[in-house]
Amino acid sequence: MIPLEEALRRILDNLPSPATETIDSRSAHGRVLAEDLTATSEIPPFNKSAVDGYAVRSADISTPPVELRCAGESRAGSETRGQLGLGEAVAIMTGAPVPRGADAVQMIEKTRRSADGSRVTILSGVRAGENIIPEGSEASTGKVVLESGRYLGPAEVAILAIFGYRQVTVFRKPSVALTATGDELVEADQAPAPGQIRNSNAPSVAAQLKLLGLEAEYLGIASDDRAQIKRVILEGLRRDVLIMTGGVSVGAYDFVEEILREAGLEIIFSGVAIRPGKPTVFARRGDRIVFGLPGNPISTFVSFELFVRPALGRICGLAAAGLFRVQGRLSLGVGHKSERTSFIPARLSWSQDGWVIDPLPWKGSSDIIGFSRANGLLILPQDKKAMAEGERVEAVLLPDFWQRLTR
């Protein structure tokens, strides 16, 4: 067995180089930018008003209240014409261009307009530049506004639209194949025979992949038969990534690691000093990588989050794709007898004093029902046999933490 940190290092050191592709910017949400993008124009493209009110010359209203002549109106989308003269004001809307000659905008709440609309009284003074967003103050032409490696969320997609980028170069998503192994497994729509169970690992991993924006090609269940497992592995190696669940432990019918070697793969590691998830295997052949995850549902889930997530995130262009770690106060004492780092299902919540971490009762690495209540994982280091109530501890947030927080 190797430590968790060493396993992660070996995975990241053995990933294929990320590839890129050019896509329509309208489908760019959730992707990672593979090029620097610059501003194609000044933003804003003109001096614009930050409020509804009146554009004025600040010198005209230095001793308020001051009555000015209403010389027109500037609306969003309009073109400014003429020059604001001495003793004049122009009604202006938020986002509208500031007329030439005006150097400030007074908000409408600090004005009073005459009944006939021809005059406006400015009740309070303003400084030059107040309530005006200067031309080019948000971005100037040629300035980098989105760097390569930036995750494209809603704000970034808006920036693409602002500067007219109809196509962008992003990191390509890897193709992923998924299979589960074991004579004991049947599909979810089948009735298990005595000694059999329904396959929950493949749907779980497929859902975890979707949280990364990836779709898995499901290759079905492979029985504990060498020839069938080899066929599935060779089929999976036609994709960038193959994820297998089960068959990686030391049982008499756990053939996966042996068959990976027969198929020409280099085993980068086999076995990690964690609980659950000890039998995790990572292998590589050229630009193809294979993850062999344990067969118990929670072991599969945890191993995916600790190893597969950061690996696939990196291939997709993310600099940091692992689970987010936080520190908080332990609500009750916990202990373990394992010589490995333990990841214990927990419920995290926020209080005035910071994070509170509540360990959840569970019945081992097959208890996915108990695990489903968790929104995080308490980390119990291998060199620490117990942690006391109130002790400051570390935990990781599950990728759908915020959705689970509301339950």
Q: 206 pLDDT exceeds 70?
A: yes
Confidence of residue 253 (pLDDT cuts 50, 70, 90): very low
Q: 109 pLDDT exceeds 70?
A: yes
Q: What was the pLDDT predicted at 320?
A: 83
Which amino acid is present at 209? L
Rounded-to-integer distance, Cα 44 and Cα 250, Å: 64
Q: What was the pLDDT predicted at 25?
A: 97
Q: In this structure, are residues 183 and 223 in contact, taking their beta carbons and an 8 Å threshold?
A: yes
Q: What was the pLDDT predicted at 249?
A: 66
Which amino acid is present at 127? R
Q: 46 pLDDT exceeds 80?
A: yes
Rounded-to-integer distance, Cα 324 and Cα 322, Å: 6
Q: In this structure, are residues 137 and 47 in contact, taking their beta carbons and an 8 Å threshold?
A: no
Q: In this structure, are residues 122 and 89 in contact, taking their beta carbons and an 8 Å threshold?
A: yes
For the whole model, what pTM was predicted?
A: 0.88
Which amino acid is present at 121? T
Q: And the tokens for 311?
A: 């690996």
Q: In this structure, are residues 185 and 221 in contact, taking their beta carbons and an 8 Å threshold?
A: yes
Within 10 Å of residue 353's Cβ, how many Cβ atoms? 8
Tell me the CA distances in angstroms from 266 to 281, 288, 303, 313, one per residue in order: 11, 11, 20, 22
Question: For residue 207, which of 300, 284, 343 has the smallest C-alpha distance?
Answer: 300
Rounded to 5°, the CA angle 155-316-175 comes to: 125
Rounded to 5°, the CA angle 21-26-29 comes to: 75
Q: What was the pLDDT predicted at 406?
A: 61
User: For the residues 147-158, what does the mean pLDDT come to?
Assistant: 97
Q: What was the pLDDT predicted at 92?
A: 97
Q: And the tokens for 308?
A: 């597969």
Rounded-to-integer distance, Cα 290 and Cα 309, Å: 13
pLDDT by residue (tens digit) across 47-101?
A: 999 999 999 999 999 999 999 999 999 999 888 778 999 999 999 999 999 999 9
7-11, 319-323, 393-397: range with lowest mean pLDDT:
319-323
Looking at every residue in the chain, the average pLDDT score rounds to: 94
Instruction: Give every CB contact of residue 163 below 8 A, 6+ residues apart in sequence.
Output: 37, 38, 39, 40, 41, 43, 145
What would the 3-class secondary structure string for the chain be? CECHHHHHHHHHHCCCCCCEEEEEHHHCCCCEECCCEECCCCECCCCEECCCEEEECHHHHCCCCEEEEEEEEECCCCCCCCECCCCEEEEECCCCECCECCCEEEEHHHEEECCCCCEEEECCCCCCCCCEECCCCCECCCCEEECCCCECCHHHHHHHHHCCCCEEEEECCCCEEEEEECCCEECCCCCCCCCCEECCHHHHHHHHHHCCCCCEEEEEEECCCHHHHHHHHHHHCCCCEEEEECCCCCCCCCCHHHHHHHCCCEEEEECECEECCCCCEEEEECCEEEEEECCCHHHHHHHHHHHHHHHHHHHCCCCCCCCCEEEEEECCCEECCCCCEEEEEEEEEEECCEEEEEECCCCCCCCHHHHCCCCEEEEECCCCCEECCCCEEEEEECCCHHHHHCC
Which has the higher per-residue pLDDT, 381 or 403? 381
Q: 250 pLDDT exceeds 60?
A: no
Domains of the chain, first to last: 4-18+173-315 (3.40.980.10), 20-43+138-171 (3.90.105.10), 48-131 (2.170.190.11), 325-405 (2.40.340.10)
pLDDT by residue (tens digit) across 176-200?
A: 999 999 999 999 999 999 999 999 9
Rounded-to-integer distance, Cα 323 and Cα 329, Å: 19
User: For the residues 259-277, what does the mean pLDDT come to?
Assistant: 95
Q: 158 pLDDT exceeds 70?
A: yes
Place of tokens 């303003």: 126
Q: What was the pLDDT predicted at 336?
A: 77
User: For the residues 270-291, what does the mean pLDDT come to?
Assistant: 96
Q: Is the peptide bond between 65 and the residue preceding it cis, with omega within 30 degrees of 0?
A: yes
Instruction: Give every CB contact of residue 403 below 8 A, 6+ residues apart in sequence.
Output: none
